[in-house]
Every structure is written in structure tokens, then in C-alpha cells.
Amino acid sequence: MTEITKNIDIAVSEILKGNVVALPTETVYGLGANGLNKNAVLKIYEVKKRPHFNPLILHIHSIDNLRKFAKHIPDEVYKLAESYSPGPITYVLEKKSIVPDIITAGLDSVAIRFPSHKMFRRVLKESGVPIAAPSANMFGRISPVTARDVYKELKGKINYILDGGRCEVGIESTVISFLNGRIKILRPGFVTQKDIEKVIGYKLKDIRIKQSGAMKKYLSPGMLKSHYAPLTPLYVVEDLNSLTKISKQNFYHIDLSKYKNLKSIASNLFKEFRIADEKKYDFITIQKVENIGLGIAINDRIEKASTGNIEMISSKSNSYLI
């Protein structure tokens, strides 16, 4: 039986018992376990059916604890933390041996984040342990932004979901690597490249690295394609005129133009994916947003959720989506 609760004591006691519990963060819901308990962390992978090569984020309460888990912390981390932590930013740093290998998938680095959601912070404080947590969805699916989303996805698989309302940010944190004396954005998120450059005082060189071959192991598996995907095939539309050509087909178009800015698009994107998915059309279509600022993270999620580009498919097959 899976119960949705607002009782923080229950979440704390589940964590301390070595169980997994879904927790609200400001970005998306997380599936948390005691980060110092290997068996508890193992349960996260089991519940999500997440491959073991994909490392987890370790959530901690405050920057004062950072040195306990990471070494060689550059000044830029402290500068960024001053502006954005607690908040939707994750720092990839060299790990200390206290961090179990099961969290880092055997890498020498660990991803650390200080979530700002009040309930998550209370769970961290009251449990007194760091919490390992990926997004609370099955591997490869859309991250949940409400307790109900988590329930639909994980009911029967976990005991408790801590209900902290709708996640404000709506997309996952920006993941930044500080390894080898270089700063790289591994996963674009709410905190943009411009935001980062403003704080650190210089421009980043290669913004996002393509994941391929031997490098794979060292980059963020969140960069894998086919992530965050709805079950219904989703196609990106470059020109809205293509929609008139396929208008006889059974499809649903996600119209993002009704939102007033990029923040509210980010906040509603995964909800839109879920609504579209539940309508059970043959396929879903969506147009990307302008590729600047937060638009980069939004387009990244759209791309990862998509099966392809509708114009490309139509020109290849000569008929639409057979």
C-alpha cells in the first residue's frame, strides 16, 4: 500500500529505517534513501529499474556539510552556492570515501545538491543523514511534479509519498561539473549558463559536451537520449504549417504559447507531457521554444522526450506517420 502523507516524521522515520520514500523538491519529486546506507540506496535502483551505471545525486542540508563528502572544492562552487543554494543546482565534485560507490556508480566524483523545498530540508535536518535521490519516476519516464504523479508511477512499489504540493521549478536541477579544474554544464536546468557566468565572472568555454564512446562514463547519463519520455510518441514540429498537413490524424498538439514566459513553461512542461500522454492519442506534437536562457533546458527536455522531428519523418516516408 502506498500512502500520500504530509507528515514529515513519517518520512524521517522511513529514511532512518533504510526505506525509500518519495520527497518533494523545488524541481521535481525525488525518490530518497539514506545516502550512507548502501542497502537503502540499492532499493532506489530496484524501485526505479534504473541501471546501476547511472549515478545518483546526494542531497545535503547545508554548504557546511559539503567538505564531508567532497574534496578539492573550487571557489566557484562557493560563489554559486551563495547565489543559488539551496536551490536547483547540482555540483559534481571529487568524492570523499564516505560516499558509497553505489551512489556514484563507481565514479570518483559525486553530484551534490542542496534542495530548497522546506519539507525536504526538514527531512534532511531531522534525519541528520544525506539523502540520495533521483527523480521519482521509473527509469526513462517523465519526472513527477506532484504527489499524484508519483503515486500513479510508483504505487505499490514504495510505502510513502511526502506531499509538498506542486514543484515550482518543474524541471530538474542544472548539473555542473567542477572536475579537472574546468566548469562544464552536464545538464541544463533552471539556473542558466548566463546566470552561472554572471556569478563566476567569466565565460564558460565548451558549454555542453556531446556524450559519446569512451567519454560516456564520465559525463552525465542524464544526457542520454530517450529520457523523460511519455509513452505516446512525441514529435517536434518546426513549422506549425506541418500540422495542417497531418490534421486528419489522431494526434494531440501541446501548445506552449499559452504560457506567459519561459519560467511558467518549465513549470508546466512535464504536466503537459502527462496530460497529453493520458489522452491516448496516436502521437503528440510540440514546438520548441527560443533556444536562449531557460529555453535551452526546456528544449533539452523536449528533445529527450521526443521520438523525432515530424517534418523529417514525413519527408522520408512520403506519408505521415504510418
Q: Which is nearer to Mg ion, 127 or 135 (CB)?
A: 135
Does residue number 267 form part of the binding site for Mg ion (CB under 5 A)?
A: no
Q: Which is nearer to ligand TXA, 297 or 310 (CB)?
A: 297
Does residue number 117 form part of the binding site for ligand TXA (CB under 6 A)?
A: no
Single-letter amino acid, residue 121? R
Residues 167-186 that bind ligand TXA (CB under 6 A): 172-173, 175, 186
**DSSP calls for 140-192:** TBPPP-SHHHHHHHHTTT-SEEE---S-SS-SPPEEEE-GGG--EEEE--SS-
CB of 74 vs ligand TXA, minimal distance in Å = 16
Short-list 148, 305, 311, 151, CA closest to 233 = 305
Which residues lie closer than 8 Å to 319 by C-beta, 6 or more apart? none
Segment near ligand TXA (CB under 6 A); pick from 86-94, 124-132, 275-283, 301-309: 86-94
Residue nearest to ligand TXA (CB): 222
**DSSP calls for 87-132:** SSEEEEEEEPTTS-HHHHTT-SEEEEE----HHHHHHHHHH-S-EE
What SS3 state is found at 197? helix
CB of 314 vs ligand TXA, minimal distance in Å = 32
Q: Which is nearer to Mg ion, 135 or 193 (CB)?
A: 135
Residues 43-72 that bind ligand TXA (CB under 6 A): 54-57
Does residue number 11 form part of the binding site for ligand TXA (CB under 6 A)?
A: no
Cβ atoms of 200 and 273 closer than 8 Å = no
Does residue number 306 form part of the binding site for Mg ion (CB under 5 A)?
A: no
Does residue number 135 form part of the binding site for Mg ion (CB under 5 A)?
A: yes
Question: How many binding residues for ligand TXA (CB under 6 A)?
Answer: 29
CB of 169 vs ligand TXA, minimal distance in Å = 8
The sign of the CA dihedral 25, 236, 229, 189 is negative
Q: Which is nearer to ligand TXA, 34 or 173 (CB)?
A: 173
Q: Which is nearer to Mg ion, 37 or 135 (CB)?
A: 135
Cβ atoms of 142 and 305 closer than 8 Å = yes
Query: Using CA atoms, how far apart are residues 142 and 153, in angstroms rounded to an integer?
Result: 10
Does residue number 193 form part of the binding site for ligand TXA (CB under 6 A)?
A: no
Query: Using CA atoms, how far apart are residues 174 and 188, in angstroms rounded to an integer?
Result: 5
Residues lying near Mg ion in the complex (CB under 5 A): 135
Residues lying near ligand TXA in the complex (CB under 6 A): 25, 27-28, 30, 54-57, 88, 90, 92, 104, 107, 109-111, 113, 115, 133-135, 172-173, 175, 186-187, 220-222
